């Protein structure tokens, strides 16, 4: 089953690359859990035909795997062409860029009920208006599109661009005007069962800041974070490991003989309000394991390039 919790660190790969098959089949970056082959911003308009040729070849050689593999469609017209390719059912789903109230139906009219799990990128100006995000949420629910959605992706760089800003190198995204927007999106979508992924961290030489931001992502309930370079993958994934203390608390909360309210490690535990948290902690632990020192992950990086 495709589960957003399994996204981990997601690597975007321009769909004109020649080595996509080795990445898709785990020969290159074997620890990579999820990937997106991109036909949007990472390539030029004139490269669309080449990208479609390379994706056709990729689909012919993809092997069965538990890795999550997506294609980012440039627009609905490109999505329609992708859906017509042989072996397209080998991928898990698609990423729809710049989704808003004006175009979401154009994407879903093509993929609805076809078995794909898709991700919608929230990165248009509409994202800054809570009323429009509430309306988008309600429309997705009303039209029964939620079953076709794996997660909503927060497009941090595009959103900052609308503000005329670029992410600074000395603070996390939560310490910029985008922090408020992220909290707003969480409040609009999470209570209704939508998962959200975290914005990309675009600096390669700020490892401690990347760790701090990923920890903030997790504390906000975001799961999955785009990596701009393979060297970020181990760092992000290390942050998804779970504290042993949290595992013990979660197990106690979900124990069949647990009392309604009890104290553990000097904190109140209440089954009625903490059950979902506890279940998510154990799922995350099953996927990513227990947390060691996160700083140790800085020494382990993927192949460069």
What pLDDT, in 10s, does the model give residues 95-150? Answer: 999 999 999 999 999 998 899 999 999 999 999 999 999 999 999 999 999 999 99
111 & 152 share domain: yes
Within-domain flag for 301: no
Instruction: Identify the band that residue 2 occupies on the pLDDT scale cut at 50, 70 and 90.
Output: low
Same domain, 150 and 248: no
User: pLDDT band at residue 304, thresholds of 50, 70 and 90?
Assistant: very low
**In the chain, pLDDT over 70 holds for what percent of residues?**
95
224 and 279 share a domain?
A: no
What pLDDT does 86 receive?
A: 97
Confirm whether 251 is domain-assigned: yes
What average pLDDT score do residues 146-166 get?
Answer: 96
Which domain, by its residues, includes 130?
4-241
Residue 70 confidence (pLDDT) above 60: yes
Q: Is 227 helix (H, G, I), strand (E, B) or coil?
A: strand
Separation of alpha carbons 270 and 261, rounded Å: 4
Q: Do 203 and 262 share a structural domain?
A: no
Q: How many domains does the chain have?
A: 2
pLDDT of residue 19: 87
In a shared domain, residues 105 and 248? no
Q: Write phi, then psi, for 101 (nearest 5 degrees).
A: -65, -20
Here the tokens at position 290 are: 């227990």
In a domain, 256, yes or no: yes
Is pLDDT above 60 for 84? Answer: yes
219 within some domain: yes
Q: Could you tell me if residue 298 is inside a domain?
A: no
For Cα atoms 254, 274, 130, give the angle at the middle one, nearest 5 degrees.
140
- Shared-domain flag, residues 108 and 179: yes
Same domain, 236 and 260: no
pTM over 0.85: yes
pLDDT on residue 113: 85
pLDDT of residue 292: 64
CB atoms within 10 A of CB 39: 28
The helices-and-strands tally (H runs, E runs) of the chain is 11, 10
Rounded mean pLDDT, 247-269: 93
The pairing of beta strand 261-264 with beta strand 267-270:
antiparallel
Do the domain assignments include residue 295? Answer: no
In a domain, 294, yes or no: no
The pLDDT-based confidence of 291 (bands split at 50, 70, 90) is confident
Q: Do 218 and 266 have their domain in common?
A: no
């Amino acid at each position: 089953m495709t589960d957003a919790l399994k996204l981990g660190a997601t690597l975007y790969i321009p769909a004109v690359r020649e080595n996509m098959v080795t990445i898709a089949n785990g020969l290159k970056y074997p620890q990579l859990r999820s990937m997106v082959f991109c036909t949007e911003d990472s390539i030029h308009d004139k490269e669309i035909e080449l990208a479609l040729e390379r994706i056709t070849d990729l689909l012919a050689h993809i092997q069965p795997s538990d890795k999550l593999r997506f294609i980012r469609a440039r627009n609905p017209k490109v999505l329609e062409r992708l859906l017509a390719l042989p072996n397209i059912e080998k991928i898990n789903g698609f990423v729809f860029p710049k989704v808003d109230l004006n175009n979401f139906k154009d994407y879903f009219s093509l993929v609805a009920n076809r078995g794909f799990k898709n991700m919608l990128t929230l990165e248009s100006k509409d994202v800054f208006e809570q009323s429009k995000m509430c309306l988008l949420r309600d429309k997705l629910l009303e039209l029964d599109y939620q079953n076709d959605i794996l997660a909503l992706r927060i497009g941090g760089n595009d959103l900052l661009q609308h503000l005329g800003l670029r992410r600074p190198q000395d603070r996390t995204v939560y310490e910029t005007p985008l922090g408020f927007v992220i909290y707003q999106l969480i409040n609009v979508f999470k209570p209704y069962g939508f998962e959200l992924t975290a914005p990309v961290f675009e600096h390669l030489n700020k490892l401690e800041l990347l760790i701090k931001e990923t920890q903030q992502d997790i504390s906000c309930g975001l799961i999955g974070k785009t990596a701009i370079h393979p060297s970020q993958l181990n760092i992000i994934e290390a942050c998804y490991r779970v504290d042993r203390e949290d595992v013990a608390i979660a197990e106690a909360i979900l124990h069949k003989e647990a009392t309604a309210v009890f104290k553990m490690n000097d904190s109140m535990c209440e089954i009625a309000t903490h059950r979902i948290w506890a279940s998510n902690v154990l799922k995350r632990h099953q996927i990513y394991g227990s947390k060691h020192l996160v700083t140790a992950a800085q020494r382990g990086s993927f192949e460069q390039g």
